Amino acid sequence: MARIQGFLPNSQQVRPHKLDNRVECEWQVIEDADDSPLLHLTTFGSEHRASHRKSSQSLQLDRESGAELFEILCKAFGFVAPAGVGRDEARLIAAYRANPALFRKLIEDDEAAHDVVAMAHRRQQVDRFHRLLTDDAFFDAEAAATASGKAEAVWQNFFDENPWIFGLSVGAQLLTSWDDRSLEQVVAGFTVGGVGKRVDALMRTSGRIRSMVFGEFKTHKTGLLGSKYRSGCWAPSTALSGAVAQSQGTVHRAVLELQERLQDKAPDGSDLPGRFTYLLRPRSYVVIGQLSQFVGPDGGEHQDKFRSFELFRRQLVEPEVVTFDELYARAEWLVSSLPVSDE
């Protein structure tokens, strides 16, 4: 019987034991005198022994020696461990695994830690955004996993999970989701959520007085331009002009049916005093295509094509047309511009 005090490298000339001498090792966690956990390991004699099965050797490891052993196992067998994990980090990992609830409570109570976790999640989502734009196989797999199997559903789900991308990325005003559960809503008949026109993203501005904002999602692969109309001029694609008409029709119908402002309701259906959302020339957006469509095979911009697209969307009063790569660039800037605390 022995209690491990620490681990040191062994310089002896040792050889692998024969498989015939294999023994079983049982383990259990017991409490030390101070109620801290101890890992107790017991080996039993080889099955070839003549005597009945009995304990042969036993070892005990406390939290510190267990962390050392964890580090040794990672090095010896190539176990996946965080890069640069040393003894202190290994101890933290062991402590977390022993009491994860305590660690979660510490993070919940630490505002700075909460911010770090939130920003780490947003950076992961920006990376996912980039992969959806650039990795066709990944995007197709995501589309196949949606209920409809359609490409537009990928972006609908992604933006539902990440409405913060619109918060500071599309306009000068802060935009928030109409409903925390989903950006997609049905708008008709003096209410939101009844039978009527489905809009991909229903948002509103923030502030003392709020206004409704509409959004339509196509896909990053949707073409922005159609055929060449005249020398140096390209017409907008059917998909783009159709999306514009669709957005204009949705807004027009909402304004006719919801009138000038919409009363906010409490969960029980009663009015919330002084809580209205206005529909005075509501802003609207179409998210479609990528500007990379105007880059030639040798890497240069096709100026006539970009000019045709840019002049078309600049002359639109509503909706505003935003490409997926523009939205990504703004989300990336939003995340990368925030400082990362070293504390």
Residue 336 token pair: 């990368």
Round to whole Å and give the CA distance between 167 and 173.
Answer: 8
Round to whole Å and give the CA distance between 175 and 334.
Answer: 14
* Neighbouring-strand partners of residue 210: 277
Please report, for the chain, the start and end positions of each structural domain, with discontinuous segments joined by +.
2-98, 121-336
| C-alpha R_g of the chain | 31
Round to whole Å and give the CA distance between 281 and 317.
Answer: 10
Round to whole Å and give the CA distance between 162 and 166.
Answer: 8
Full pLDDT tens readout for the chain, 343 residues: 788 888 888 888 888 888 777 788 899 999 988 888 899 999 887 665 555 667 778 999 988 888 888 878 877 776 655 555 555 566 666 667 777 777 777 666 665 555 666 677 888 899 999 999 999 999 999 999 988 888 999 998 898 888 888 765 455 444 445 455 554 544 544 445 443 456 677 777 666 777 778 888 899 999 999 999 889 899 999 999 999 999 998 888 887 877 777 777 777 777 777 677 777 788 888 999 999 999 988 889 999 999 999 999 999 988 999 999 998 988 888 787 655 544 4
pTM: 0.59
Q: Which fold has domain 121-336?
A: Restriction Endonuclease (3.40.91)
- The neighbour count for residue 234, using CB atoms within 10 Å, is 21
Alpha-helical regions (H) of 226-323: 238-258, 303-314
